[in-house]
Chains A and B, each alone.
Chain A
Amino acid sequence: MSLFSTANHSGIPSGSKNSMRRITNSLGIFLFLLPGLVIFLIFVIYPIFRSIYFSTFDWNGLGPAVDNVGIQNYKDILTDKVFLKSIINVLIIIVLSLGIQLPLALLLATLVGRDLPGRAVYRTIFFLPYVLSEVNAAIMWMLLFNADPERGLLNGILVALNLQPVGWLSDMKVVLFSVFIALTWKYFGFHMLLYLTGLQNIPTEIEEAACIDGANSFQSFFHITLPLLSSTIKTSVYMSVLGSIQQFILVWIMTKGGPVNASETMATYMYRFGFVRFDLGYGSAVAIIMFIFCVVFSLIYQQLTREPDYLTGL
């Protein structure tokens, strides 16, 4: 009896205090997460499922969606030459970005380096295009790409050099490269910034040691700097590819994906079907396909670039 009462005295009050605390604690965590989760679930997660649902309909957005066509939309998209063309265009942009834009950013970052007098000024200038809006960047480049040599600077230079003017935005063979030039102008500064930060984290002693051991700057760059930058480069490649997959505004304003789909990207293709033709079922199927591309790329890339644990240390 006394045993029970002791148990009651010491056990119940402290137990309820503990569980009270645990409840207020969980409640607190819940309240902290609540606003973020609600907005995120409504505007990011739910739309994925909503879109999967609508992607099985032939639906122009007027009235309810009733014409269920199963996976026909997906079949149509994956056999549509224009969509395949847009995938190829995205692949070309990815290849050009990884082959030209990123190495250029790395080169400039290495040149700015760690101790160049005026380093901060260069960083500020190179990064400037990144903070300008894509609309403004696109319009600036349209001015330069103007086909009339009397108005567009680039053709003006070509004509002054006695060369043929180029239809920067009107020639089907050239337009994608023109877009790529504008993209590079806008985005290389971001990658350069990443590399500069990466360089900052490499202790100078390592390179000095290599220099004392007789390595020239090229050897030191390829055998020391580059490997030590590898995790930064991985991040930058990831961002570049994901950015290319979803490239939209610059292309849309400069070319609307034209001429004749020559600069179509997946995102302009989706926008055209979703918001210009109001073929909403078809457009959502495109969105789902793009989402799958992003997820698959992210997962594969993470697997491929996973480092042994002792290297990451995180």
Chain B
Amino acid sequence: MKYSRFSTNLKRVIIPRFFQYLVLTIAVILIFVPIVILLFGSVKTTGQMYSHPYSIPNPPNWSNIFNILTTPYFWTLMKNSLIVLVGTTSATVIICALVSFVLARLPFRGKGFVFNLFTVGLMFPINVAILPVYFVLRQMEQFGVNVIDSLWGVILVQVAFQLSGNIMILRGFFTAVPVELQDAAYIDGCTNFGFFWRVLLPLVKPSLAAVSALVMIASWNDLLVPLVVLNDNKLWTLPLGTMQFQGQYGQDLALISAFVALSSIPTIIFYFFAERQIVSGLTAGSVKG
């Protein structure tokens, strides 16, 4: 009796579990290979990189890391990326919250039109739109609005192309708030704005955090907009600076590895803290469509 129970357990649970873990572990190793090779490379000398390109660095050589961290180049990139991140994220979240509130909770004429207008943005991603957007930036420049070679330009374009997706996500979250709360707020004399500010926003803080996390990742990693908007290397952001660095020192693989590793670290740290928000934002957006 005991034996047969063990054997069914073995057949039904233990063996499948073993294969589950086996396949998943292989996948984990494959995921880690590029990252580990990069981290190894980042603490090698150029000589070690050529003689033992994919072994554990022994002894580790911190000079590349040290050199990068002591040059202003890296810190300028970080600073610019941070400015863009803060600007894009705060503007996107505020604007999306306002629009999503109106779309989710208030009846008005032309609502369908506004909604459909914003869905156009989903079919016109920045990778397709970059050249058309560049025309508009140039035109604004002619009117004396300084957006080319300016972090403002990067922020504005990033915000514009973050709107559609995040409005859809937030609208979903906002719709989920029970309508009874809205009725109760109106009976207590709240205006629309009062309901939005005092009742809705405190309730949807987690979804605002989710959207913020998504926008932060997108803004921090964005290469295309800074690439097209910024010429002056004092304004470059981290991805743009990394790409240019790779172009300049392409042959020194150890140095490149160190630079890429350093520029990945902020993202990875952020990811470990904000994983829950990122995941809830992404899945909400895609499930609601």
Shortest beta-carbon distance from A121 to chain B in Å:
9
Within 8 A of B (CB), among A255-314: 267, 270-271, 274-275, 280, 283-284, 286-287, 290-291, 294-295, 298
Q: In whole Å, how far is B254's beta carbon from the nearest beta carbon of chain A?
A: 10
Q: Which residues in B have their C-beta under 8 angstroms from that of A247? A: 127
Q: Is the CB of A36 within 8 A of B96?
A: yes
Give the most central of A131, A270, A291: most B CB within 10 Å: A131
CB-CB nearest in chain A for B109: A26
**Cross-chain contact A33 with B131 (CB below 8 angstroms):** no
Give the contact stretch, choosing among B68-76, B134-142, B199-207.
Answer: B134-142
Q: Which residues of A contact B98 (CB under 8 A)?
A: 32-33, 35-36
How far apart are the CA atoms of A290 and B128 in the complex, in Å?
A: 7
Which residues 109-166 in B have Cβ within 8 Å of A in the complex?
114, 117-118, 120-125, 127-136, 139, 156-157, 159-161, 163-164
Q: Which of B9-47 contact A (CB under 8 A)?
A: 16-17, 20, 23-24, 27-28, 30-35, 37-38, 41
Closest to B128 in A: A290
In the complex, chain B residues 238-289 whose Cβ is within 8 Å of any chain A Cβ: 238-239, 242-243, 246, 253, 256-257, 260, 263-264, 267-268, 270-272, 275, 278-279, 282-283, 286-287, 289
Q: Take A131-B278, A136-B242 as given contacts and tell me if A267 and B128 are in contact as well, using a CB distance cutoff of 8 Å.
A: yes
Across-interface contacts of A42 in B (CB, < 8 A): 136, 160
- Counting chain B residues whose Cβ lies within 8 A of the other chain, the interface size class is 35 or more
Task: Tell me if B187 counts as interface (CB < 8 A to partner A).
Answer: no
Taking a contact as CB atoms under 8 Å apart, the answer to whether B129 and A287 are in contact is yes
With both beta carbons as reference points, the residue of chain A lying nearest to B28 in the complex is identified as A125
Stretch at the interface among B56-64, B100-108, B176-184: B100-108
Given contacts A136-B239, A139-B242, A232-B287, 10 further A-B contacts (CB under 8 A): A32-B98, A39-B156, A40-B121, A108-B24, A141-B34, A143-B253, A151-B50, A151-B253, A235-B289, A298-B123
Q: Interface of A with B (CB < 8 Å)?
A: 25-26, 28-29, 32-33, 35-37, 39-40, 42-48, 50-51, 54, 107-108, 111-113, 116, 122-129, 131-137, 139-141, 143-144, 146, 150-153, 156, 185, 189-190, 193-194, 197-198, 217, 231-232, 235-236, 239, 242, 245-249, 253, 267, 270-271, 274-275, 280, 283-284, 286-287, 290-291, 294-295, 298
Interface residues of B (CB under 8 A from A): 16-17, 20, 23-24, 27-28, 30-35, 37-38, 41, 49-50, 53-54, 94-96, 98-99, 101-102, 106, 108, 114, 117-118, 120-125, 127-136, 139, 156-157, 159-161, 163-164, 167, 191-193, 217, 220-221, 223-224, 228, 238-239, 242-243, 246, 253, 256-257, 260, 263-264, 267-268, 270-272, 275, 278-279, 282-283, 286-287, 289
